[in-house]
Amino acid sequence: MKQIDHFIAGKKTAGTSGRFGDIFNPATGEVQARVQFATRAEVRKAVEAAAKAFPEWSSINPQRRARVMFNFKALVEKNIDELAHMLSAEHGKVIADSKGDVQRGIEVIEFACGIPHLLKGEYTEGAGPGIDIYSMRQPLGVVAGITPFNFPAMIPMWMFGVAIACGNTFICKPSEKDPSVPLRLAELFMEAGAPAGVLNVVNGDKEAVDAILEDPNIQAVSFVGSSAVAEYIYSHGTAHGKRVQAMGGAKNHAIIMPDADLDQVTNELIGAGYGSAGERCMAISVAVPVGEKTADALVQKLRPRVESLRVGIPTDPDADYGPLVTAAHREKVKSYIDQGVKEGAELLVDGRDFKLQGYENGFYMGGSLFDRVTANMKTYQDEIFGPVLQIARAKDFSDAIALPTNHQYGNGVAIFTRDGDAAREFASKVKVGMVGINIPIPVPLAYHTFGGWKRSAFGDVNQHGPEGVRFYTRIKTVTQRWPKGGVRENASFVIPTMK
């Protein structure tokens, strides 16, 4: 059986722990490979390789680092078909969605190609008598990223693209469910011209994570995953003196105003709710129609669309979405549907018993649709992370805005309306980090920044864009004076001021 190891100091490195994780083919349910789980010593070996590479890499001028990023971008684009098929085979996404995963990562690499401009500091001439002040941004050193299963191409590139362009060296700990794409990206990064040790990949479980969080040479850690783990990463990492950004779970609402175009809304909800089998932190999982008339009309349009969703193998070009990532995750999603029924929500479409002919052992689920979900239900409070859309009816605009505002998560939210004043008020008042107006998945482009509020994000600095550059650098400010003609002033015991 195929064995997946680590990538340390520029080459594939066999693990020695004797501990493995199974990698499934979600389409068939079969174990297709095993991944080695790293020991603390193996994580340390990766840290040492990154630390060794840091002085040379950080001293290369930003323009030359940008050339490596340009080369890497070209190589990822050249190999996008290979990467997409590799991704789909382990994750279960349909090929088109996997290509989108890779493409969104490429867009952050494109942003990172502009690093010479992004690292420019500030300068003030004549800040005082003969005194100039300037600032510079310098890399932190060795940094790490712990990435989730649902975007095995995009999120690693979100992290290491900006970090490495800034002059840091990087250790990636991908999800043990689908680790092949991050390893392939590391190989392509070496091919692009990066020195050995600049990008390392170690596979593993909590032992590897704790080794990263506790290693004294790792300066910063970025994480994307569930909120419970994000909180642990943040508290444990900061307790060990690290800069940490930890992105957690979500429960993204879509507010549907009475004046919205319901045909457009239905299309948007179908794609945003069920794409990638709902395994997206920015998936729309709650539709909030305002008023009973709006709700009834939405249900009438939405129900047949959910019933007709096409679930297929990842390579089926006509499939809307493929299997879930593992059998355990599928059972977890089913348990939430069971819970919703017990809590009294109205299950309009039930996808629990779906089987794909010829692939009965695959991890498939049909689309499910709930109506009359209320805020006190556990299935509303928790992130389901599957092909399940819930309808929570609101009496008016105030009730609608209160639902996402009062929810424990605050990642993304959307409003559908033709009323600019309502949209403007909503964007201003809703307590959520990313807002879409007639846009169902408001993921900012690479030159802006990604991050939620409340239990969707721990830490003060968001991912990619200018915030990403700030996260992976420290600012240093220099105040300088060159005395004229060797003249020296007498000693002063008063703090300098500009009075």
Q: Are residues 232 and 270 in the same domain?
A: no
Q: Are residues 132 and 258 in the same domain?
A: no
The CA-atom distances, in angstroms, between 154 and each of 15, 99, 147, 213 are: 25, 10, 10, 22
Q: Are residues 244 and 258 in the same domain?
A: no
pLDDT value, residue 489: 67
pLDDT value, residue 151: 97
Q: What is the CA radius of gyration of the chain?
A: 25
Please report whether residue 487 resides in a domain. no
In single-letter form, the type of residue at position 244 comes to V
Q: Are residues 66 and 122 in the same domain?
A: yes
- Residue ranges making up the domain that contains 12: 2-248+456-478
- Which residues touch 468 (CB under 8 Å, ≥6 apart)? 158, 162, 163, 449, 461, 462
Mean pLDDT of the chain: 96
The CA-atom distances, in angstroms, between 233 and each of 172, 178, 247 are: 15, 21, 10
Please report whether residue 495 resides in a domain. no
Please report whether residue 449 resides in a domain. no
- Of the candidates 276, 266, 261, 211, the residue with the CA atom closest to the CA atom of residue 240: 211
Please report whether residue 341 resides in a domain. yes
Q: Are residues 314 and 399 in the same domain?
A: yes
CATH of residue 189's domain is 3.40.605.10
Q: Are residues 337 and 392 in the same domain?
A: yes
Q: Are residues 376 and 259 in the same domain?
A: yes
Q: What is the C-alpha to C-alpha distance for residues 368 and 335, in angstroms, rounded to an integer?
A: 13
Encode pLDDT of 45-67 as tens digits: 999 999 999 999 999 999 999 99
Q: Are residues 143 and 285 in the same domain?
A: no
Q: Are 298 and 391 in contact (CB under 8 A)?
A: yes
Active site residues: 281
492: pLDDT confidence band, cut at 50, 70 and 90?
A: confident
Q: What is the C-alpha to C-alpha distance for residues 283 and 254, in angstroms, rounded to an integer?
A: 10
Q: How many domains does the chain have?
A: 2
CATH of residue 365's domain is 3.40.309.10
Please report whether residue 170 resides in a domain. yes
Q: Are residues 320 and 411 in the same domain?
A: yes
234: pLDDT confidence band, cut at 50, 70 and 90?
A: very high
Q: Are residues 222 and 276 in the same domain?
A: no
Q: Are 88 and 98 in contact (CB under 8 A)?
A: yes
The bridge status of strand 243-247 relative to strand 457-458 is antiparallel
Q: Are residues 169 and 307 in the same domain?
A: no
Encode pLDDT of 370-411 as tens digits: 999 999 999 999 999 999 999 999 999 999 999 999 999 999
pLDDT value, residue 486: 61
Least confident of 92-96, 194-198, 480-484: 480-484
487: pLDDT confidence band, cut at 50, 70 and 90?
A: low
Q: Are residues 362 and 270 in the same domain?
A: yes
Please report whether residue 167 resides in a domain. yes
pLDDT value, residue 399: 98
pLDDT value, residue 129: 86
Please report whether residue 493 resides in a domain. no
- Of the candidates 326, 371, 461, 351, the residue with the CA atom closest to the CA atom of residue 23: 326
Please report whether residue 443 resides in a domain. no
pLDDT value, residue 128: 86
